Homo-oligomer: A and B are copies of this chain.
Amino acid sequence: MQEIGLGLLGFGTVGAGVVEGLQRNGDLIAARAGVRPVLRKIADLDLDRDRGVVVDRSMLTTDATAVIHDPEIHIVIELIGGVGIARELVMEALKAGKPVVTANKKLLAEFGHELFPLADQHQVDLRFEASVAGGIPIIQALREGLIANHIPNAYGILNGTCNYILTRMEEEGRPFDEVLQEAQDAGYAEAEPSLDIDGHDTAHKAALLASLAYGFPYPLSRLHVEGIRGIAREDIENVCELGYRMKLLAILKKTGDQVGVRVHPTLVPLDHMLAQVGGVFNTVMVTGDIVGDTLYYGKGAGRLPTASAVISDIAAIARQLATQSSGHVPAFVPEGGQPQIQPMDEVLARNYLRLSLMDRPGVLAHVAGILGEHGISIETMVQKSRSRETYVPVILITHQAQEKNMREAVARLNESEHVGSKPVRFRIEDFA
């Protein structure tokens, strides 16, 4: 059977997972692909650390450039991460005409507008199945399985750390800081958790999904991002009582000619499939104009789930090289027309608003008045308790309101002498 040489750049957690996957199931993969991918070189700065897999010492090198230019290497696998050396090496590989497989969502979200055209220019593939939702084959589903569909909307739970924290907070009624600390101790969250809990990792993945759904590199600068840092236990509980569950959602929507992508904590109706996704699992729900709603669920991170996706990309390219296909599949293609991005200010949503109000006559009318001035009407109001405190918590659910109006109304409320602590606001997703 024909062999295709692989060069692995970066021998970290996922890199070792790829090595393990190829070692364990190499014969199966070769049989299914009709060609045998063979790992020939591994480049890393640290050649001594134990990764839990056994590789021939002669395979290891610190010289990534030499791996890229080795004529026995036909596919380059970038698992270094980050946007420094990884970016340079991916560019070098593409320029050398070597197809690249990467799991680096940050690199593609920030520099995809450079890297994908470079791949096109050199007619080689740059594949990234592992970069969104780990082991779930969502990239291929969007590019190929749903090729017949315009995508009116898509939703993703794309960060296992955030979903784990929200799940634990709800199930155990515990505060954010405590659960985060525990997740860090258990290795589910990084020591520096900002990339995850402030929503940036989700945003990188959402930008990639948007590129595939809408056919242009979605600029991160136009992507509205809010994370889950410091989310209050009482809001987690309140929304449950109201029939929702708090999820950090990536939301992609096409409205008329405009597309909009945002990431923020969102109230999801309890009976919706996305509300059922607990713990570290990821889920993507994609609506196609032909197929209707589809949903994909699985492990979004981890050494082996990510390796499964990396190997699927390797097999796809290997099969293509083996069949001497003249084709290069571009990562995404423009759908025609100038892409337009919907300003966040124009987004419409119902909202959950928790206000701390002075317990005296006329205050509710005052609040309703401010909302009314911004064109916002109230659907439901729940006063949580009437104690001897000066301020009482009041929960409002608004009817659908425009983001700009909501933001301005909340700012006005924040300045009001009748309002105690800062108003807390979350958007509700109705999947309509």
Interface residues of A (CB under 8 A from B): 21, 24-25, 27-29, 31-34, 129, 135-137, 140-141, 143-150, 215, 273, 276, 288-299, 302, 304-305, 307-309, 311-312, 315-316, 319-320, 322-327, 329-330, 333-336
Known interface pairs A24-B290, A336-B31; A319-B308 also in contact (CB < 8 Å): no
Check B333 against A31 for contact (C-beta < 8 Å). Answer: yes
Residue in contact with A327 in the complex, picked from B129, B295, B302, B322, CB distance below 8 Å: B322
Check A148 against B25 for contact (C-beta < 8 Å). Answer: yes
Give Cα distance in the complex from A324 to B324, angstroms. Answer: 8
A364 to chain B minimum Cβ distance, whole angstroms, is: 38
Give Cα distance in the complex from A142 to B379, angstroms. Answer: 46
Residues of B near A333 (CB, < 8 A) are: 31-32, 34
One complex includes copies of this chain to the number of 2
Residues of B near A292 (CB, < 8 A) are: 135, 298-299, 302, 304-305
Of all chain B residues, the one with the shortest Cβ separation from A141 is B137
Residues of B near A326 (CB, < 8 A) are: 323-325
Give Cα distance in the complex from A419 to B307, angstroms. Answer: 55
A210 to chain B minimum Cβ distance, whole angstroms, is: 15
A353 to chain B minimum Cβ distance, whole angstroms, is: 29
Residues of B near A327 (CB, < 8 A) are: 34, 319, 322-323, 325
Give Cα distance in the complex from A387 to B131, angstroms. Answer: 62
Of all chain B residues, the one with the shortest Cβ separation from A278 is B271
Check B295 against A298 for contact (C-beta < 8 Å). Answer: yes
Instruction: Sort A-B residue pairs by CB-CB distance and give the 10 closest, nearest first.
Output: A137-B145, A323-B327, A325-B325, A294-B298, A291-B308, A135-B291, A148-B311, A295-B297, A290-B308, A323-B325
Known interface pairs A273-B276, A326-B323; A32-B290 also in contact (CB < 8 Å): no
Check A335 against B298 for contact (C-beta < 8 Å). Answer: no
Give Cα distance in the complex from A78 to B280, angstroms. Answer: 42
Instruction: Name 9 interchain pairs, CB-CB below 8 A, sorted by A.
Output: A31-B336, A34-B333, A145-B309, A147-B315, A290-B311, A293-B297, A294-B296, A323-B325, A323-B327
Known interface pairs A28-B335, A294-B297, A297-B297; A307-B148 also in contact (CB < 8 Å): yes
Check B136 against A294 for contact (C-beta < 8 Å). Answer: yes
Known interface pairs A141-B141, A333-B31; A147-B312 also in contact (CB < 8 Å): yes
Give Cα distance in the complex from A276 to B269, angstroms. Answer: 14
Check A329 against B34 for contact (C-beta < 8 Å). Answer: yes
Known interface pairs A33-B147, A144-B140, A297-B297; A304-B325 also in contact (CB < 8 Å): no
Give Cα distance in the complex from A147 to B311, angstroms. Answer: 8
A169 to chain B minimum Cβ distance, whole angstroms, is: 18
Known interface pairs A34-B330, A312-B147; A307-B290 also in contact (CB < 8 Å): yes
Give Cα distance in the complex from A32 to B212, angstroms. Answer: 10
A292 to chain B minimum Cβ distance, whole angstroms, is: 5
Give Cα distance in the complex from A140 to B139, angstroms. Answer: 12
Residues of B near A137 (CB, < 8 A) are: 140-141, 144-146, 294
Residues of B near A25 (CB, < 8 A) are: 148-150, 289-290
Give Cα distance in the complex from A332 to B297, angstroms. Answer: 24
Of all chain B residues, the one with the shortest Cβ separation from A320 is B325
Residues of B near A146 (CB, < 8 A) are: 137, 308, 312
Residues of B near A320 (CB, < 8 A) are: 325
Of all chain B residues, the one with the shortest Cβ separation from A30 is B333
Check B290 against A304 for contact (C-beta < 8 Å). Answer: yes
Give Cα distance in the complex from A140 to B136, angstroms. Answer: 12
Residues of B near A288 (CB, < 8 A) are: 135, 308
A123 to chain B minimum Cβ distance, whole angstroms, is: 11
Residues of B near A322 (CB, < 8 A) are: 327
